[in-house]
Amino acid sequence: MITVNKENLPVHIGFIMDGNGRWAQKRGLPRKFGHREGAAAFRKIARYCKKIGIRYITFYAFSTENWSRPKDEIDELMKLFGEYIDEVSDYAEENTRLIFLGDKSAFGKEMADKMSELERNSRDFSDMTLMLAMNYGGRNDIVHAARQIAAMVENKEIRHTDVDESLISGLLYTGGIPDADLIIRPSGEKRLSNFLIWQSAYAELYFTDVLWPDFTPKELDKALEDFASRKRRFGGV
């Protein structure tokens, strides 16, 4: 169990769930089995974060670039998302708010409607906020905000001089959510891959060689201990 003091825990953690394919390949299994195990790891980590009092968690589940993967892999991921969405509809008692980051319309009307309904029904739940980045890209997030701003200027609701960081932050898919404090990427890759690029401007980055399906609460404890030992200066001294 975590030994870090509560005040040294990150408020918002972002997880890049990488390494599912390699996890499966190492076992001679098709990649989709890795995603299934990855989904199990996601559930365990989300539950653990709530237990230890993390307020905001974001998982990179499907990027705007992932549509170029083979059809059977995409089908499996859509199946896993669908199963999760149906499952969470049943646990309002969890008191967890759900937000989907990205353009939902790509998932078809039925699924997009369920996603919006979950967001609506959970909006007052306050123990934890769980964000799933699905059909998400950090640059696309900024473009989406920029278009809203352009429309506001065009409609003369604001002037160009009103555009500042807080206006942009508020119009991102994460509008109203604190910036990420810690980004965790397993599987040995050391990059952000277009995940929360605006929101992680001052985030601490944690990389580990463990593959996502093997990323257990114990691995998260290690990341949290490492985070607690870092000195965050936010550009100061």
Nearest distance from C-beta of residue 85 to ligand FPP, angstroms: 8
Active site residues: 18, 66
Least separation in angstroms between CB 212 and ligand FPP: 6
Nearer to ligand FPP, 28 or 236 (CB): 28
Residue 9, amino acid = L
Measured from the CB atom, is 30 or 175 closer to ligand FPP?
A: 30
Triad 188, 192, 197: Cα angle to 5°: 165
**Chain residue whose CB lies nearest ligand FPP:** 21
Q: Would you say 18 or 204 has its CB closer to ligand FPP?
A: 18
For residue 155, the minimal CB distance to ligand FPP (Å) is 37
Binding site for ligand FPP (CB under 6 A): 17-22, 35, 38-39, 42, 59, 61, 66, 77, 80-81, 84, 132, 187
Nearest-approach distance from CB 193 to ligand FPP, in angstroms: 9
In this complex, which beta carbon is closest to ligand FPP, that of residue 18 or of residue 141? 18
Least separation in angstroms between CB 229 and ligand FPP: 28
> Between 39 and 220, whose beta carbon lies closer to ligand FPP?
39
Question: What is the 3 state secondary structure string of the chain?
Answer: CCCCCHHHCCCEEEEECCCHHHHHHHCCCCHHHHHHHHHHHHHHHHHHHHHHCCCEEEEEEEECCHHHCCHHHHHHHHHHHHHHHHHHCCCHHHCEEEEEECCHHHHCHHHHHHHHHHHHHCCCCCCEEEEEEEEECHHHHHHHHHHHHHHHHHCCCCCHHHCCHHHHHHHCCCCCCCCCCEEEECCCCCCCCCCCCCCCCCCEEEECCCCHHHCCHHHHHHHHHHHHCCCCCCCCC
